[in-house]
Amino acid sequence: MAVKSLIKYEVERDPAFARWVTGVIGGERIRNCIQCGMCSASCPLSPYMDLTPRRLIHMAREGFKRDVLESFTIWLCTSCYSCTVECPRRIRVTDVMYALKRRAIEDGVYPRRFPIPVLASEFGAMIRRNGRVTESWLVMRVFLKTAILRLLGMSKLGTKLFLTGRMEIVPATIKGRKQLQTLLDDVEAHKKEVAA
Amino acid sequence: MKRYLYYPGCSLRGTGKAYEESLLAVFKALDVELEELEDWNCCGATAYMSIDEVSSFALAGRNLAMAEKKNLDLLAPCSACFLVLNKAQRYIKEYPKVAQTLEHGFKAAGLEYHGTAKVRHPLDVLINDIGLERIKACIKKPLTGLKVAPYYGCQIVRPYATFDLMYYPVTMDKLLRAVGAEVVDYPLKTRCCGGSQKGTLPEVGLSLIHILLKEARRREAQVISTICPLCQFNLDAFQDEASKKYGEISMPVVYFTQLLGLAFGFSAKELGLERNIVAAKQMLAKFAPAAA
Amino acid sequence: MNGSNGDLRIGVYVCDCGTNIAATVDVKAVAEYAATLPGVVVAREYKYMCSDPGQELIRQDIEEHKLNRVVVASCSPLLHEETFRGAVSKGGLNPFCFQMVNIREHDSWVHQDHAKATEKARALVRAAVRRVALHKPLVKKRVPIDPNVLIVGGGIAGIHAALTLANAGKHVYLVEREPTIGGNMAKFDKTFPTLDCAACILTPKMTAVKKHPNITLWTLSEVTQVQGYVGNFEVSVTRHPRYINEDLCVGCLECIEGCVYKQAKVPDEFNLGLGKRKPIYISFPQAVPQIPVIDRETCIEFKSGRCKKTCIEACGDRHAVDLKQQPKLETVKVGAIILATGYQPFDARKVPDYGYGVYPNVYTAPEVERLINASGPTGGEVILRDGRKPEAIGIIHCVGSRDENTNKWCSRVCCMYSLKLAHLLKERTGAEVYNFYIDMRAPGKAYEEFYHKLLEEGVHMIRGRVAEVTDWPMTKEEEGKLIMRAEDTLISFVRRVPVDMVVLSVGLVPHADAKDVRRLFNISCSTEGWFLERHPKLAPVNTFTDGIFIAGACQAPKDIPDAVGQAGSAAAEAMVLIDTGYVEMEPNTAYIVEEECSGCKTCVPLCPYSAISFLEDKKVAQINEVVCKGCGTCVAACPSGTIRQNLFEDEEIFEEIQGVLA
């Protein structure tokens, strides 16, 4: 039996991270959280989370960065917004989850072949390239990068989708690709200037 | 003759093809013209928000800027697109820093954004703009006796419930009743189907899907009616897996526009009813001969 | 010391205030400077002006140096203006020939540069000296107080205030809108933490009210108009007809027995719709007065005119039933008014995810009080709407409280009453009881101990707000039950708890018409809708309108001991007015120079205290100086400058400004 000490020391807190969380869009009222647990109670995914949303919020505002970014929780969120509409303090928990996802990707804190961040980045890359997403190609790329074997297991479903004409073969593109790229590049460059 | 701009979204060209087919058929029958927004780009859905927040608003913003020019309401049938476009519009208004960054970007890309576009949902348009009377007038054969579980999913009522109630929406119920169907009381009508989790965390996703299917059967529904392409896909494509893990379950899952279309007398093929993974055509043919 | 300037003989006193002022301002220098100002004959520095010797200094100097104006430069007027006016008065000088300068809160306490602070003090003193030269003697008006008191609201607070005043020999009009007094407390089963039966402790007080010779009790009555001002209110009360003559009725209740409706059919308001009553009814067995009411909405005779009227027959030769009774208008003159109108429970339909009104076995706490009460619709048996007896009960705290989506405040009593209901329900049914709370608030006397008693009884305490009450099952055991989903935050696990009965601990909200009532009495409401007290800490029963007091839950959610405490306090405040016999009005009121008034009526609607009226015959406006609070709005608004204000004349203000800028 591997016994571990779970005590938390003050030096583990990252006050800069705590401050950052209160500054993200949706996290403005995170200090007002009364830990009622409504977010966890309304979240359909919470039974599967290692840190329930409520617990994550308190960890985040206290600055326990490692625990927060390494948690399973942020990746399980499907953005159904149940937490956001229920919160008696009007904290936009979903937006905070998104921010934590982005921060985790930025800091590189997630298992290498973890499908969710890979899905997000492939999705984004495809939009930048083509302006639209072709589901079949997206799924293929994600599975190739994360779980090739599962892709084989999905072949039955894939065949059904193909036969029912629900599989787009030709990658969808837009004419205004350049315009979109200009827009995205400019926003990337300038948001760093405007960021608090 | 009503006209709307039409934003199909990436899914309606792929797994959600039947949604587009049935939507176009129904709107045509109701004498509503849909003009596809020219050169629309992907809205980013939930995925782009995980990469970059302001950029995701920019994606939506390009579409909104183009739609503004046309001075017509923009119809967005896919729930994710509907939410993202609306949310972007609100956040650009609410957060000056976001508006500032985007203003610069729009300028660089030669776009003009004023935040005046109106993004609408088909349920909203059908109930409020077209009206139940006109819909009833188009019925060729009412779906009498068909028990439907109405499934709305999350993103058209949360976090913004603009045209329906947040906790217990009723617009789809009203439409289905208007075409003669019996709508069962389905308290899970806004519970999350798991979104893309079935692909990334299969067990979790399957559990959420199964909860919805099981309860629909327990309420004695014969078919589940959906409004979101991802919900439809989730509920439709994994019933085999669910049966293996949880016990036999088989329930046809269709789009509400397909049910409306059936009542209007369209054939199964016209409504994309042959695209369902779990066969729906045969069961529905008992209520709507046109489906045969 | 400089010679005097004509008739002016000004005395200036600059206070050290220990080190509060002296540490930053060179008080000696300021006093020396003051001595050089025109009109000043005496200028002193002193350590503590507010002390007895300090005040004595002023008194002496007025006598000795024949001063006719006084300036004191010290702390805030809020603190000591009255003190120094008193000292000036003792010296034989009119207290309004005095001006106070704040060189503490406005100077020494907010600046660090000594030189600049001293310069500022000099400027302020200079300004005051110039101003005070123009002050005129003013007299505080005295207004007599009518010795009667009006109390609006016959709940526990209103009843207690009424008895206290009546026992002190004052005459009280107690006006209650329901057919009986008792308010919300009469509907409770037991009270926390003693578990006293609510009716048992309340009804003796109710009968005392009825019997008391000094209390005029009007039930089924409402105040419709309030005119006048402190000590002299004229109140119109409409007494709605109960169709029973109160003087002839003996309270035998035979008319109810004799009603053509053999079975009760109308939803019973007192039992919150859980039970039924007849069109002729009495709210509850111990109602005061013990006189039935006929509800004209459901009475056959009123609806169709074709009833056998067996009620009249049953009444016999007492002839108390009077179907032709008309509303009666009463007008009373009172000196003080106490508002004790209480609260209403939060409407649980506003929280759709708890299923109130959708699932039959979801109850609000007030409904449960009736259910477990022996004189309730089920005789005290816990029988659910669908006929079952519950084996598991869930109680949700904070419904409609502590929530930005409904009400931000904490309703203060719900944790305690939730524990009380947990205890009573468990005792009555033996069911598993679960309390879902966010924080356990047990601040009162013996409240924490009550909480521990509950813990010992094995009630499940789950710290987590319930997200939804649903009827779809995940497991076989959940079928046929209501499922409550919450995160048990103490163990960080999400739990699904199947129950048969859900109790919603609804919060307290202001009455729906609180905003209209407050306008009737010319008091304020806070943003949440509760009546506004003058000061939340030091004057919780006073309002900003003199002569009107508030007591009980109408001011903010509170429990019975606090309501009773406030009722006694409000009664005492009313007694102060009445026993003093008069009230003195501050003279800094606005006045209209009648000859200059053009009758434009600009000022009339502007007054927040409704003190300005328009005289139709003279076509000029008139200010009631007793009601005027000297806010200055009309003074500023008058287009011709006809309205002026005592103690704030234009010349006085301009001199002060000139003094500062000089």
* Mean pLDDT to the nearest integer, B65-86: 96
Nearest to A123 among B40, B47, B275 (CB): B47
One domain for residues A49 and A131? no
* Mean pLDDT to the nearest integer, A33-52: 96
Coil, strand, or helix at residue C243? Answer: coil
Q: What residue type is assigned to position C153 of the chain?
A: G
One domain for residues B169 and B227? yes
Domain containing B175 equals 140-291
Helices C414-429 and C365-372 pack at an angle, to 10 degrees, of 40
One domain for residues B154 and B95? no
Residues of B in contact with A98 (CB under 8 A): 49-50, 53
One domain for residues B110 and B145? no
Residue B187 belongs to a domain? yes
Residue B236 belongs to a domain? yes
Q: Please judge whether B168 and C474 are an interchain contact, meaning their C-beta atoms are less than 8 angstroms apart.
A: no
Q: Which of A59, A83, A107 is the last residue of a domain?
A: A107
CATH homologous superfamily for the domain C344-509: FAD/NAD(P)-binding domain (3.50.50.60)
pLDDT band at A63 (very low <50, low <70, confident <90, very high): very high
Q: Please judge whether B159 and A81 are an interchain contact, meaning their C-beta atoms are less than 8 angstroms apart.
A: yes
| Cβ contacts of C587 within 8 Å, gap of 6 or more | C96, C138, C139, C140, C141, C646, C647
* Mean pLDDT to the nearest integer, A62-66: 95
Domain containing A98 equals 13-107
Coil, strand, or helix at residue B154? Answer: coil
The per-residue pLDDT for C280 is 96
One domain for residues A21 and A74? yes
One domain for residues B75 and B184? no
How many beta-carbon contacts under 8 Å exist across A and C?
Answer: 62
One domain for residues A99 and A132? no
β-sheet bridge partners, residue C392: C432
One domain for residues B152 and B283? yes
Q: What residue type is assigned to position C23 of the chain?
A: A
One domain for residues A131 and A183? yes
Residues of C in contact with A54 (CB under 8 A): 487, 489
Which residues of chain B from 228 to 287 reach within 8 Å of chain A, CB to CB?
237, 274-277
| Cβ contacts of C359 within 8 Å, gap of 6 or more | C469, C471, C482, C502
pLDDT per residue over A81-133, tens digit each? 999 999 999 999 999 999 999 999 999 888 777 788 889 989 999 999 999 99
Q: Tell me: pLDDT of B36 over 60.
A: yes
> Is residue C404 less than 8 Å (CB to CB) from chain A?
yes
Which residues of chain B from 51 to 110 reach within 8 Å of chain A, CB to CB?
51-55, 58-59, 61-62, 91, 95, 97-98, 100-102, 104-106, 108-110
Angle, vertex CA C257, rays to CA C256 and CA C259, nearest 5: 65
Q: Tell me: pLDDT of B62 over 90.
A: yes
CATH code where residue B149 lies: 3.40.50.11810
| Cβ contacts of B199 within 8 Å, gap of 6 or more | A115, A119, A139, A142, B205
Q: Please judge whether B39 and A165 are an interchain contact, meaning their C-beta atoms are less than 8 angstroms apart.
A: no
One domain for residues B114 and B154? no
Q: What is the CATH number of domain C10-132?
A: 3.40.50
Q: Which of B65, B91, B120 is the last residue of a domain?
A: B120
Q: Please judge whether C352 and B215 are an interchain contact, meaning their C-beta atoms are less than 8 angstroms apart.
A: no
Split into its structural domains, chain B has a count of 2
Split into its structural domains, chain A has a count of 2
Q: Which of B120, B154, B176 is the last residue of a domain?
A: B120
User: Tokens for C308?
Assistant: 């056998």
How far apart are the C-alpha atoms of A125 and C462, rounded to whole Å? Answer: 46
Torsion of CA A4, A9, A14, A18, to 10 degrees: 100
Q: Please judge whether A34 and C466 are an interchain contact, meaning their C-beta atoms are less than 8 angstroms apart.
A: no
pLDDT per residue over A32-41, tens digit each? 999 999 999 9
**Cβ neighbourhood burial of C240 (10 Å; 0-12, 13-18, 19+):** middle
Nearest to A78 among B102, B197, B277 (CB): B197
One domain for residues A101 and A119? no
With CA atoms as reference, report the closest residue to C194 among C423, C503, C425: C423
- Tell me the fold of C590-646: Alpha-Beta Plaits (3.30.70)
How far apart are the C-alpha atoms of B85 and C240, rounded to whole Å? Answer: 57
Share of chain A above pLDDT 70, in %: 96
One domain for residues A27 and A102? yes
One domain for residues A85 and A129? no
Q: Tell me: pLDDT of B72 over 50.
A: yes
Residue B125 belongs to a domain? no
The per-residue pLDDT for C485 is 97
Residues of B in contact with A136 (CB under 8 A): 14
Residues of A with CB under 8 A from a CB of C: 34-38, 40-43, 46-47, 51-52, 54-55, 82, 86, 88-90
Does pTM surpass 0.80? yes
Question: Which helix (H) or strand (E) is C412 found in, with range?
Answer: none
Q: Which of B120, B155, B181 is the last residue of a domain?
A: B120
| Cβ contacts of C279 within 8 Å, gap of 6 or more | C259, C261, C266, C294, C295, C298, C299, C300
Low-confidence ranges of chain C (pLDDT < 70): 1-6
Q: Which residue in this structure is represented by tokens 């489906």?
A: B291
One domain for residues A102 and A18? yes
Chain A closest CA to B156's CA: distance in Å?
Answer: 10
The per-residue pLDDT for A194 is 62
How far apart are the C-alpha atoms of A77 and B46, rounded to whole Å? Answer: 10
Which residues of chain B from 12 to 71 reach within 8 Å of chain C, CB to CB?
none
Q: Tell me: pLDDT of A195 over 80.
A: no
One domain for residues B113 and B146? no
Residues of B in contact with C471 (CB under 8 A): 187
The per-residue pLDDT for C6 is 60
How far apart are the C-alpha atoms of C79 and C93, rounded to whole Å? Answer: 21
Residue A102 belongs to a domain? yes
Chain C closest CA to A24's CA: distance in Å?
Answer: 20
Which residues of chain B from 143 to 172 reach within 8 Å of chain C, CB to CB?
165-168
One domain for residues B219 and B279? yes
Nearest to B204 among A76, A174, A184 (CB): A76
Disruptive mutation site among C472, C482, C496 for chain B (greatest number of B CBs within 10 Å): C472
Residue B131 belongs to a domain? no
Q: Please judge whether B275 and A119 are an interchain contact, meaning their C-beta atoms are less than 8 angstroms apart.
A: no
Residue A7 belongs to a domain? no
Q: Please judge whether B187 and C470 are an interchain contact, meaning their C-beta atoms are less than 8 angstroms apart.
A: yes
| Nearest residue in B to C359, CA atom | B187
Q: Please judge whether C404 and A90 are an interchain contact, meaning their C-beta atoms are less than 8 angstroms apart.
A: yes
Name chain C's partners: 3 or more CB pairs within 8 A: A, B
Disruptive mutation site among A29, A35, A36 for chain C (greatest number of C CBs within 10 Å): A36
DSSP codes, C335-361: SEEEE----EE--GGG-GGG-BTTBTT
CATH code where residue B77 lies: 1.20.1050.140
Q: Tell me: pLDDT of A196 over 80.
A: no
| Nearest residue in A to C495, CA atom | A41
Q: Please judge whether C472 and B188 are an interchain contact, meaning their C-beta atoms are less than 8 angstroms apart.
A: yes
Nearest to B215 among C352, C353, C472 (CB): C472
How many beta-carbon contacts under 8 Å exist across B and C?
Answer: 13
One domain for residues B144 and B79? no
Name chain B's partners: 3 or more CB pairs within 8 A: A, C
| Nearest residue in B to A86, CA atom | B159
Residues of A in contact with C466 (CB under 8 A): 41
> Is residue C403 less than 8 Å (CB to CB) from chain A?
yes
